[in-house]
Amino acid sequence: MPERRTVALVTLGCARNEVDSEELAGRLEADGWLLVDDAADADVAVVNTCGFVEAAKKDSVDALLEANDLKGHGRTQAVVAVGCMAERYGKELQDALPEADAVLGFDDYANITDRLQTILSGGHHASHLPRDRRKLLPLTPVERQAAAAEVALPGHGAPEDLPEGVAPASGPRTLRKRLDDNPVASIKLASGCDRRCSFCAIPAFRGSFISRRPSDVLHEAQWLAEQGVSEVVLVSENNTSYGKDLGDIRLLETLLSEIAAVEGIKRVRVSYLQPAEMRPGLIDVMTGTPGVVPYFDLSFQHSAPAVLRRMRRFGNTEQFLELLGTIRGKAPEAGARSNFIVGFPGETEEDFAELERFITEAGLDAIGVFGYSDEDGTEAATYDGKLPEDVVADRLAKLSRLAEELTAQRAEQRIGSEVEVLVESVEDGVVEGRAAHQAPETDGLTTLLGADDAKVGEFYRARVVGTEGVDLVAEALSGALGAGE
């Protein structure tokens, strides 16, 4: 029997990319590939790139170059770029980075095995020419589902997409292979975005918004539970739009309750929420449904009306504070986070001061701050009123310091409160996990005391006794919680 080809998936960027990598892994394993963790042990290293901002693109290029350095020193024979940066730039990336043996777009994912075998055999696969993926689906949302089968939608794998000849799995079937044993996993609710924020290039290379079928999402949650996952995070470019192309903009409210009822799933978390699209019924479900954590990842971006208008967004400081007040009126311990852009073209000192006022009053648990930079193909790149780099840098540093101080104060306010901690790491006697208001990788950790026998994946009730910046220190109140607690 010939030795199986080996492949390693290196993933950069957001949780959506992680889902895409696990779908690619599912396709490759079904086609007979052996998945390995280390690129040095793989015949081919597949780098799932991020193409969102300059720093992320640089990280992707560095990862490709690092994988290329393995060639000639071990097993690695080829390095292939996939993901958002590959989709966004295609042949341009291939020309600029000849170290990559191929640059594959989303349309190549369904035939990933054929592509990799061609490359390993010394053949050449032409890099794709980027196109505006918003034009691949009908303009009217309710007409998109019928056309979706003809468009590549990474992370939307359904049972009927499993390669021919693959035996049915027992229980739920999904086109996905877990690449780690973390008790937390993301599920894609949708792909693409219909919003036209002037600073964002994502819709052009991810396409128009299209929801996954609720049954596919639910089956994937059931499958993940069978794999030992106890917390699922629902991701997309805009979760608040889920269902609009299925004829029911309130479909998320129903689906949340159904996922929370899946045996083995103890937490359901929703990310990527648009403030302008939040509705009372969704807030009620997110704050009042057992198993759904009251966690609000709200994409504010700014709070000065003039800046928001130039960003092609909506709202102002008072409206945003009112939204947060409504949420906390229903769930006082609710977690809230957001990202902000400073130095946007035309941002005045008064606009920046308004943003400072907002985050000072908002009481957010986590704040991401980014300095504006032009992104290829965006409307904002054509704007006048660009601020000098030193002004952007100064505002970035100032708001970052304020954000660090405010989020640390918010953490201190939780001292004395009870939290439920999901254990994610036990190492050298140190037990770390996350409380309900802490999302994976972005919002801090909780160090759990008095749980010497803790195991990864267990839940503990604990009382917060201290903080370290945004991180909490909590004392376990009892042993691990049982399945029904």
User: Can you tell me the distance from the alpha carbon of 48 to that of 12, in angstroms, rounded to the nearest whole number?
Assistant: 6
Tokens of 235: 């991701």
Q: How far apart are CA 184 and CA 23, in angstroms?
A: 16
What φ, ψ does residue 273 adopt, rounded to 5°? Answer: -110, 140
Residues 6+ apart with CB under 8 A from 145: 210, 211, 245, 246
Instruction: Please tell me whether 105 is known to bind a ligand.
Output: no
Cβ burial of 247 (10 Å; 0-12, 13-18, 19+) is exposed
What is the spatial distance between Cα 80 and Cα 58, in angstroms, rounded to a whole number? 16
SS3 29: helix
Q: How far apart are CA 378 and CA 381, in angstroms?
A: 6
Q: Is 193 annotated as a binding residue?
A: yes
Ligand-binding annotation for 429, yes or no, is no
Beta strands, E only, 104-216: 184-188, 190-191, 210-211
Rounded-to-integer distance, Cα 292 and Cα 280, Å: 16
Q: Is 140 annotated as a binding residue?
A: no
Three-class SS of residue 338?
strand
- Whether residue 50 is annotated as binding a ligand: the answer is yes
56: left (phi over 0), alpha (psi -120 to 50) or beta: alpha
Q: Is 316 exposed, middle or buried (0-12, 13-18, 19+ CB in 10 A)?
A: middle
How many H helices and E strands in the chain?
14, 18
370: which strand partners? Answer: 341
Indicate the helix (H) or strand (E) that contains 10: strand 6-11
* Residue 235, marked binder: no
Annotated binding residues for [4Fe-4S] cluster: 14, 50, 84, 193, 197, 200
Annotated binding residues: 14, 50, 84, 193, 197, 200
